[in-house]
Chain A
């Protein structure tokens, strides 16, 4: 067995790190959009608006029932045909749209469960003081549901960070793409992808640390 070319790997680290902002950018954009969409989907699932409810159930079923990679290809190749002004859709946009829809379906289910986990007394008190259903949701129920769902949602975010690597298959030069290009010249593929793996690992560990801090804070909330 050949030894690892540590020197090569070391030299590659700053190159790959240069693509971390793109990875985090896609993940943050996807997460922000997915959160908004998931809240809407979850509130609809709880309120069960006639007709709309069936569409939402179908949406969630499809995006949980098919692989993210397949969904990304569908958007990349399908959207330009469906929506004329998206003819020039680039890989990053397609990836963010795909991540948003895919993860919003999963997150909607955990937000829905969290909403239903908010104590009945909270709904009754909100209604008793005369709140409209919308005010009740935004002021009382969703903030409490957010606390319940937060740890799970952070897990989805971490998952999303890793899933951005699939944008590589849409021709985006992100961390994987950059490693591929570098290795094409040196033939040191294993070294290059090992660097990618370690950098992903580091990012995830950093967010896991923040997650533990967040959970600690949430555990103390409302107890002053």
Chain B
């Protein structure tokens, strides 16, 4: 169970997150959509303190961290309960595909090397990159790098997986393979919080869709209702825009 209360983040004078309240059940898959610049990335980054929130509390399982008075140990603990998939992959440049996955298993979780290796090899098979185990990120395509990025996150067995637009930086030709892998992860019933612009994908895998604008949660609903009958005019405007002007009231027409 993940619980966020009053999460607030300012950059200088601008309030980027304006008191976010959010609960995510175990195994729930929540997709966040919204125009760019509304604080979606900042929300995910505050959840693992890559950005330091200014106010609010974050609870993951039995760990509660208060924004103002988080100790370094609490920040580490929070990060060890979450996994993050970056828009730009952010693979360790000095580690092979295999090494990217084993690195934290050995040097954060303290697992024996052989066990970490076996686990990483299993993950590489799962993400279809067993034959690229010894390749450095620079030698992989964007799609392959992001699959390793997702594999690295899967291996951590974190209580919450955070995805920040995992397909937005990809050439169109690689988007499909990454979304396929994300669908597979979603079927494993992991707790996922996903920021994406892929509406069809959101409709397929989300238990709940959240629309954010201006640092606030404007509307949230199960995908059927969210796409078929959005309540807030801002949500409707957004959906109309991303569906290329088509009516968001007839989502089935796109599927």
Tell me the A residues contacting B by CB distance below 8 Å. 119, 121-122, 124-132, 135, 139-140, 143-144, 147, 221-224
The reply to whether the CB of B227 lies closer than 8 angstroms to some CB of chain A is no
Q: Would you call B79 and A128 a contact (CB within 8 A)?
A: yes
Q: Would you call B138 and A132 a contact (CB within 8 A)?
A: no
User: Besides A122-B93, A124-B90, 7 other CB < 8 A contacts?
Assistant: A121-B90, A125-B84, A126-B92, A129-B104, A130-B108, A131-B107, A135-B108
Kindly identify which residue among A129, A140, A222, A224 contacts B79, using a CB–CB cutoff of 8 Å. Answer: A129
A49 to chain B, nearest CB (A): 14
Q: Would you call B136 and A139 a contact (CB within 8 A)?
A: no
Which residues of chain B from 144 to 200 have a CB within 8 Å of any chain A CB? Answer: 152, 156
Q: Would you call B137 and A121 a contact (CB within 8 A)?
A: no
Q: Would you call A129 and B156 a contact (CB within 8 A)?
A: yes
Kindly identify which residue among B79, B94, B134, B137 contacts A127, using a CB–CB cutoff of 8 Å. Answer: B79
Chain A residue contacts of B156, Cβ below 8 A? 129-130
Q: Would you call B104 and A143 a contact (CB within 8 A)?
A: no
Question: With contacts A122-B92, A223-B139, A224-B135 known, is A132 near B86, CB below 8 A?
Answer: no
Q: Would you call A222 and B76 a contact (CB within 8 A)?
A: no
A129 to B156: give the CA distance in the assembly, Å: 8
Which residues of chain B from 83 to 98 have a CB within 8 Å of any chain A CB? Answer: 83-84, 86, 88-94, 96
Chain B residue contacts of A222, Cβ below 8 A? 93-94, 136-138
The reply to whether the CB of B103 lies closer than 8 angstroms to some CB of chain A is yes
Q: Would you call B94 and A128 a contact (CB within 8 A)?
A: no
Question: With contacts A121-B88, A223-B136 known, is A128 near B48, CB below 8 A?
Answer: yes
A140 to B95: give the CA distance in the assembly, Å: 9
Name the prevailing secondary structure of the B interface residues: loop
Chain B residue contacts of A119, Cβ below 8 A? 93
Q: Smallest CB-CB separation from B156: which chain A residue?
A: A129
B91 to chain A, nearest CB (A): 7
Q: Smallest CB-CB separation from A146: which chain B residue?
A: B94
Q: Would you call B108 and A129 a contact (CB within 8 A)?
A: yes
Question: With contacts A222-B138, A224-B134 known, is A130 near B79, CB below 8 A?
Answer: yes
A76 to B244: give the CA distance in the assembly, Å: 78
Q: Smallest CB-CB separation from B88: which chain A residue?
A: A121
A24 to B91: give the CA distance in the assembly, Å: 40
Chain A residue contacts of B117, Cβ below 8 A? none
10 smallest beta-carbon distances between A and B, as pairs: A130-B80, A121-B90, A129-B104, A128-B84, A125-B90, A130-B79, A222-B136, A130-B108, A223-B138, A143-B94
Q: Would you call B76 and A122 a contact (CB within 8 A)?
A: no
Q: Smallest CB-CB separation from A139: which chain B residue?
A: B107
A128 to chain B, nearest CB (A): 4
Kindly identify which residue among B83, B108, B136 contacts A224, using a CB–CB cutoff of 8 Å. Answer: B136
Q: Smallest CB-CB separation from A126: which chain B residue?
A: B92
A132 to B92: give the CA distance in the assembly, Å: 15
Chain A residue contacts of B103, Cβ below 8 A? 129, 139-140
B142 to chain A, nearest CB (A): 14
Kindly identify which residue among A122, A124, A140, A143 contacts B50, using a CB–CB cutoff of 8 Å. Answer: A124
Chain B residue contacts of A223, Cβ below 8 A? 136, 138-139
Q: Would you call A131 and B138 a contact (CB within 8 A)?
A: no
Question: With contacts A130-B104, A135-B108 known, is A144 near B79, CB below 8 A?
Answer: no
B108 to chain A, nearest CB (A): 5
A130 to B50: give the CA distance in the assembly, Å: 11
B62-106 contact mask (Cβ, 8 Å, vs A): 1 or 0: 000000000000001001101110101111111010000001100
A127 to B94: give the CA distance in the assembly, Å: 16
Chain A residue contacts of B92, Cβ below 8 A? 122, 125-126, 140
Q: Would you call B136 and A135 a contact (CB within 8 A)?
A: no
Q: Would you call B86 and A124 a contact (CB within 8 A)?
A: yes
Of the listed residues A119, A125, A144, A224, the one surrounded by the most CB atoms of chain B closer than 10 A to its CB is A125
A221 to B91: give the CA distance in the assembly, Å: 15
A-B pairs with beta carbons under 8 Å apart, 16 shown: A124-B86, A124-B90, A125-B90, A125-B91, A128-B79, A128-B82, A129-B103, A131-B104, A135-B107, A144-B94, A222-B93, A223-B136, A223-B138, A224-B134, A224-B136, A224-B139
Question: With contacts A140-B92, A140-B94, A222-B93 known, is A127 near B50, CB below 8 A?
Answer: yes
A139 to B103: give the CA distance in the assembly, Å: 9
